Chain A
Amino acid sequence: GVCHSGSSASISPYPVASSSVTPTLTMSPFATSMNLLYCLLSPHLSNFASKVLICRNYKGDVDMSEIDHFMPLLMQHEEEGLLCPVMSHGNVHFMWIKHSNLYLVATTNKNSNASLVYAFLYKLVEVFTEYFKELEEESIQDNFVVVYELLDELMDFGFPQTTDSKILQEYITQEGAKLEVAKSKVPTTVTNAVSWRSEGIKYKKNEVFIDVIESINVLVNANGSVMSSDIVGSIKLKTMLSGMPELRLGLNDRVLFGLTGRDKGKTVMMEDVKFHQCVRLSRFESDRTISFIPPDGESELMSYRINTHVKPLIWIESVIEKFSHSRVEIMVKAKGQFKKQSVANNVEVRVPVPSDADSPKFKTSTGNAKYVPEKNLVVWTIKSFPGGKEFLMRAHFGLPSVENEEAESKPPITVKFEIPYFTVSGIQVRYMKIIEKSGYQALPWVRYITQSGDYQLRTNV
């Protein structure tokens, strides 16, 4: 676990302090954020040492050798079955997330704002992914200089700064960051009140694409009763608009209709709404108007949660009979509980089977069933599933005469699907007003889709 940043790669072409400057220890008992940031490569099975890919010491008050304790600590926790996103060694605290085979670790010796640290770590993944497509060992090694430049711009002395990757891309570029490039000014956007959109954007054809995506989360007990269900909706934008347009989005929001005394058609009660940075929150709070200057390109404008009792759109009944030392017999019935005119696409019903099952045999009334032994699953795929229809799948597995002694967990049946042109909550975009001072006409396009979220049905076996 030696820090690699002392090598030439970590020295930015501009005099940015190297992380290997000897830290001076001072005691300040509070930190808004973290002190040190590491990106570690997950240890290879044959070799317990993890490799430090990036190390940025923002405050210099945690010893850089402390990271050596991280991986052993993690493994110890894992072994004890007490994995935890926060771990401590002495007076150093590690807050970490895992992204594919990389660990992003923030260390601190203060009472840091933990929720800010995790939000920042995930932001980091987002920014790196937008810069390098994939965040992985190779992309980091190939882009050391940009990575460190980004780390300097994303955070200063433990305080997160500019983290909007679209804006960052305007002044931190991947072409080796030559001094000539650095000469380019900081986009005023960075410090503007509108910090997410640059001026001077131009499109020949001005359009906005609105995607309304609702994910259904369902938890059904083995006896068939729905324990919990909710809808998490998301409104995504692809904005291709010139200039600095002012947008206003109108939804059939029940609270808004209540405020204005309007009562036309179906309205939707959103339990909680979360907005992108760009939406004026106090305006929404006072009169439920969703008004904003959109970021350019793709973004998630808002998300909402609806707590109503949803009828599970695809209902599953299953009979799983396990005859010890002999066989498992599975019967699954899937029923489309949505309108006949709608069709669910790419339906996947994933049924767990014991890990020692063998010789699978299937029979389906429609679609294909496949055994995925590495996941101990039967995956039943139905490309097109019309509403109101009912399909059946039977599976038969052999069981070895000498049985696995370890108790097996009881994973639920999970279902994946998507139903286009339809939202289960009935939410609708009533209008999208687009006003720009140049006065151009712009077209909004809306698309609705409902899909499975966390969709689990417990079984008896």
Chain B
Amino acid sequence: MTDSKYFTTNKKGEIFELKAELNNEKKEKRKEAVKKVIAAMTVGKDVRYTFSDVSCTQDCEDPNPLIRALAVRTMGCIRVDKITEYLCEPLRKCLKDEDPYVRKTAAVCVAKLHDINAQMVEDQGFLDSLRDLIADSNPMVVANAVAALSEISESHPNSNLLDLNPQNINKLLTALNECTEWGQTFILDCLSNYNPKDEREAQSICERVTPRLSHANSAVVLSAVKVLMKFLELLPKDSDYYNTLLKKLSPPLVTLLSGEPEVQYVALRNINLIVQKRPEILKQEIKVFFVKYNDPIYVKLEKLDIMIRLASQANIAQVLAELKEYATEVDVDFVRKAVRAIGRCAIKVEQSAERCVSTLLDLIQTKVNYVVQEAIVVIRDIFRKYPNKYESIIATLCENLDSLDEPDARAAMIWIVGEYAERIDNADELLESFLEGFHDESTQVQLTLLTAIVKLFLKKPSETQELVQQVLSLATQDSDNPDLRDRGYIYWRLLSTDPVTAKEVVLSEKPLISEETDLIEPTLLDELICHIGSLASVYHKPPSAFVEGSHGIHRKHLPVQHSSIDTGESPVSGGPAAAMDQPHVIPSQGDLLGDLLNLDLGPPVNVPQVSSMQMGAVDLLGGGLDSLLGGDLGGGVGGSPAVGQNFIPSSVPNTFAPSPTPAPPATSSGLNDLFELSTGMAITTGGYAVPKAVWLPAVKAKGLEISGTFSRRQGHMYMDMTFTNKALQHMTDFAIQFNKNSFGVIPTSPLPVHTPLMPNQSIEISLPLNTIGPVMKMDPLNNLQVAVKNSIDVFYFSVLIPLNVFFVEDGKMERQVFLATWKDIPNENELQYQIKDCHLNADTVSGKLQNNNIYTIAKRNVEGQDMLYQSLKLTNGIWILAELRIQPGNPNYTLSLKCRAPEVSQYVYQMYDSVLKN
């Protein structure tokens, strides 16, 4: 080619000549001239005056559509502000060209011009022309118009350029079936910004998008996944369609992993998000994430991450076998991550903890330095998660002390030595050995070492006084690090003024560590789900974090299900519609209640005011409880802190039991009598308690037998136990601990056993409880896992807590509130039970129940049968509303329970049944 010749013409009067040539009648000449213009522009000459003559503008009228299209494509590429005005007329024509090839090119040209001169594009009405093209008969034109509009609208976040209305959506969905694979991607990306007005519309769009999951192009598939993941939010979770759709999402995601490595990488980064948002989609597919030898490192690391997220009791054996294999590879980063993964499995799947620990010990035996160090770091976390379970391996860990050269590993080892100083004979020597090079250690190690030695001192004060002096002076007098100095001085002051308090502070019980780590914060996760397939989803960062000038842009968020908004608002707004609708569904009860409470249901004047205040509180708790009791907890998406906050304030007044040694029931004080009298329920002290049962048989606990029951007395909860020593040796050092449980039950004080328990001796223990501990949903809900330690061993057993110990004293609801609440709780939450063979009259029933903090709010006789309306409240703020129907001569009572957390209802029913029959 001899294209370079155009760069050589360099005569005077050039512009004039060019203009003439551009207007030559011969096309050949004109072509030559254009090349000269471009060559001149390329070398930086001012050829502006020729633009009006440039053949582009004329070529827009050429009979050949290819030339018209090339002209319009070229015009947009001349990024010179001045010439754009010459382009308006030709562009306008091209946007209406008869040939779709020209129109699709013109559509993109509008975006190009907008990039250069946005104002002009708007003034000239090109945006309207572009919008018209959405209705074009040709799918490629539609796709390019959508792409151009999307591009433009991103710089005008507030304008509704795309005007996504159901009509346009329909046009897009039609074009989706016919345009090229790239066009399908533009349209799907655009659709994902649409907010369907209701679930029906969302479903019908999803139905038309789903076939795209079978497209061979991975970009089409991921963009379709994005639309479906967004619209899933709008579909009711219990609908068949919702579940069908979930099932359809899994196979195409898996197939993306057969693609090129870069495609796999993008897919894996997105799957990582999807697995966090909706773990159920891929929970069966763990095998496809097993790492292959020839996977690139970026694929390996991502697969590993997803494997941990999908690890569960069902697949843990396979996962562990794989992880062990990976841990013996040679790629350091991969191996480290594999070792970390084993630790995370131990923490996540309790049943596997033992196997994980033994795998880690095997790995430590390999003596591969970085494997050992990584293993020690994760073992520290396992110790924290399962206290008093695996400490026997400490000796093995200590053997590797010398090989630890990384701060993380050194700090972990030091923490372990300090935490278990009482079990490690030479803990002082070990810690002292670290002290020698104190000033060369990293801050992290220095701080840990300081704390560890203080712990050691508090546990073995007699032998370690010198050591603690030494570390305190190193930290305070010889260090320049302010954090270290501060901590050093705090400990020093604490130890010198009040060793008992120091012990309480330093050796206090640590909060348990969470099961899931590295979870993306939920609001960010939702935003990233809206960006599936894009760079944001690859980086796991919002676009604002890496795109300049996008800070003002609105962040994308998932659509909100409309019906859930309605439910959320109805109690506050208390609109007549909401108030009137409900009774239609359960007319008999509504009327009954209205009559009963002498309230006029018509004008909602009084009720909403009362209820809005009271219900606000109920809602707050309800919200927290939903996340506690809902299935979502499994994902653990940052739920626990919120739950905690909602919980503690409500339960503290009822359950905070300050007395460390409770008075045994027999010695009830005058105050208690007074209390009972004043509340007029001096029939028995406290409520119903199940007779003691054997919880831990002696054969299972090396001779220790524990039987027990739960009770609630004067507003406090107790675990009443009998410890019997059936072994031949005496037992000392008793301690008790509970696993996380549904109601956050923890002992208020240590086990009050102060003297050795001799063979054949029994003692009665009443352990005060409160409900301010960590919460985890258990199955059954009232299950409590207990660990009891003595000088012989640690023993585990689990018990079911009768729910009445959680029934609080202030569980009596105001009548109006009761009515409003009954109506507000959806009918599907109402559960009905039969209490059989009961021969009590209504008053006795009320009395018995009231002793257990189940309060009768109203009683009414309807056609000979007694209706009792009752309320009770749990320590965590859940209200349960009850209607008990007693027919004369019929020993079977009907109990209807309504509660925002209907999961508790069956346990409440069990209590009714037990209380009434005892």
Q: Which of B46-69 contact A (CB under 8 A)?
A: 54-56, 64-67, 69
Kindly list chain A residues whose C-beta atoms are within 8 Å of the C-beta of B65: 185-186
Contact assessment for B251 and A85 in the assembled complex, using a CB-CB cutoff below 8 Å = no
Q: How far apart are the CA atoms of A230 and B151 in the complex, in Å?
A: 41
Contact assessment for B330 and A456 in the assembled complex, using a CB-CB cutoff below 8 Å = no
Kindly list chain A residues whose C-beta atoms are within 8 Å of the C-beta of B104: 161, 191
Contact assessment for A272 and B251 in the assembled complex, using a CB-CB cutoff below 8 Å = yes
A364 part of interface (Cβ distance < 8 Å): no
Chain B 886-914: CB-based contact to A (< 8 A → 1; otherwise 0): 00000000000000000000000000000
Q: Which residue of A lies closest to B79 (CB)?
A: A24
Contact assessment for A91 and B258 in the assembled complex, using a CB-CB cutoff below 8 Å = no
User: Which of A61, A114, A230, A272 counts the most chain B CB atoms within 10 A?
Assistant: A114
Query: Within the complex, what minimum Cβ distance (angstroms) separates B158 from chain A?
Result: 13
B392 part of interface (Cβ distance < 8 Å): no
Query: Within the complex, what minimum Cβ distance (angstroms) separates B322 from chain A?
Result: 7
Contact assessment for A30 and B151 in the assembled complex, using a CB-CB cutoff below 8 Å = yes
Contact assessment for A408 and B42 in the assembled complex, using a CB-CB cutoff below 8 Å = no
Kindly list chain B residues whose C-beta atoms are within 8 Å of the C-beta of A163: 180-182
Q: Which residue of B lies closest to A29 (CB)?
A: B550
Contact assessment for A116 and B111 in the assembled complex, using a CB-CB cutoff below 8 Å = no
Contact assessment for A28 and B151 in the assembled complex, using a CB-CB cutoff below 8 Å = yes
Contact assessment for A191 and B100 in the assembled complex, using a CB-CB cutoff below 8 Å = yes
Q: How large is the interface on A (under 10, 10 to 19, 20 to 34, 35 or more residues)?
A: 35 or more
Q: How far apart are the CA atoms of A85 and B298 in the complex, in Å?
A: 8
Partner of A82, one of B177, B178, B333, B553: B333
B548 part of interface (Cβ distance < 8 Å): yes
Contact assessment for A221 and B67 in the assembled complex, using a CB-CB cutoff below 8 Å = no
Chain B 309-326: CB-based contact to A (< 8 A → 1; otherwise 0): 000000000100110010
Q: How far apart are the CA atoms of A82 and B73 in the complex, in Å?
A: 40
Contact assessment for B218 and A119 in the assembled complex, using a CB-CB cutoff below 8 Å = yes
Kindly list chain A residues whose C-beta atoms are within 8 Å of the C-beta of B536: 111
A174 part of interface (Cβ distance < 8 Å): no
B460 part of interface (Cβ distance < 8 Å): no
Q: How far apart are the CA atoms of A175 and B141 in the complex, in Å?
A: 30
Query: Within the complex, what minimum Cβ distance (angstroms) separates A65 from chain B?
Result: 17
Kindly list chain B residues whose C-beta atoms are within 8 Å of the C-beta of A17: 38, 74, 77-78
Kindly list chain A residues whose C-beta atoms are within 8 Å of the C-beta of B722: none
Q: Which residue of B lies closest to A302 (CB)?
A: B216
B526 part of interface (Cβ distance < 8 Å): no
Contact assessment for A303 and B216 in the assembled complex, using a CB-CB cutoff below 8 Å = yes
Contact assessment for A221 and B325 in the assembled complex, using a CB-CB cutoff below 8 Å = yes
Contact assessment for A228 and B288 in the assembled complex, using a CB-CB cutoff below 8 Å = yes
Contact assessment for A271 and B31 in the assembled complex, using a CB-CB cutoff below 8 Å = no
Q: How far apart are the CA atoms of A14 and B218 in the complex, in Å?
A: 34
Query: Within the complex, what minimum Cβ distance (angstroms) separates A73 from chain B?
Result: 15
Chain A 285-315: CB-based contact to B (< 8 A → 1; otherwise 0): 1000000000000001011010000000000
Q: How far apart are the CA atoms of A108 and B539 in the complex, in Å?
A: 14
Contact assessment for A83 and B297 in the assembled complex, using a CB-CB cutoff below 8 Å = yes
Chain B 515-541: CB-based contact to A (< 8 A → 1; otherwise 0): 000000000000000010111111100
Contact assessment for A113 and B155 in the assembled complex, using a CB-CB cutoff below 8 Å = no
Contact assessment for B105 and A156 in the assembled complex, using a CB-CB cutoff below 8 Å = yes
B290 part of interface (Cβ distance < 8 Å): yes
Contact assessment for A160 and B182 in the assembled complex, using a CB-CB cutoff below 8 Å = yes
Q: Which residue of A lies closest to B156 (CB)?
A: A28
Q: How far apart are the CA atoms of A24 and B39 in the complex, in Å?
A: 19
Q: How far apart are the CA atoms of A255 and B582 in the complex, in Å?
A: 44
B116 part of interface (Cβ distance < 8 Å): yes
Contact assessment for B180 and A114 in the assembled complex, using a CB-CB cutoff below 8 Å = no
Partner of A29, one of B260, B322, B538, B553: B553
B255 part of interface (Cβ distance < 8 Å): yes
B272 part of interface (Cβ distance < 8 Å): no
Contact assessment for B182 and A161 in the assembled complex, using a CB-CB cutoff below 8 Å = yes
Q: Which of A157-212 contact B (CB under 8 A)?
A: 157, 159-163, 171, 176, 179, 182-186, 190-191, 193, 195
Contact assessment for B215 and A281 in the assembled complex, using a CB-CB cutoff below 8 Å = yes
Contact assessment for B216 and A195 in the assembled complex, using a CB-CB cutoff below 8 Å = no
Contact assessment for B185 and A116 in the assembled complex, using a CB-CB cutoff below 8 Å = yes
Contact assessment for A195 and B140 in the assembled complex, using a CB-CB cutoff below 8 Å = yes
User: Which of A113, A160, A407 counts the most chain B CB atoms within 10 A?
Assistant: A113
Q: How far apart are the CA atoms of A14 and B546 in the complex, in Å?
A: 38
Q: How far apart are the CA atoms of A121 and B484 in the complex, in Å?
A: 53
B219 part of interface (Cβ distance < 8 Å): yes
Interchain residue pairs A-B with the least CB separation, the first 3: A17-B77, A8-B4, A30-B154
Show 29 residue pairs from A and B whose CB-CB distance is below 8 angstroms, ordered by the A residue: A8-B4, A8-B6, A8-B7, A14-B31, A17-B77, A24-B115, A26-B116, A28-B151, A29-B155, A30-B543, A81-B297, A82-B298, A83-B296, A85-B261, A97-B260, A113-B219, A113-B223, A115-B266, A116-B182, A157-B76, A159-B108, A159-B147, A163-B180, A185-B66, A190-B101, A227-B318, A272-B214, A274-B216, A458-B293
Q: A85-B265, A118-B263 are in contact. List 6 more A-B contacts (CB 8 A).
A: A11-B39, A18-B41, A29-B154, A116-B533, A183-B64, A409-B293
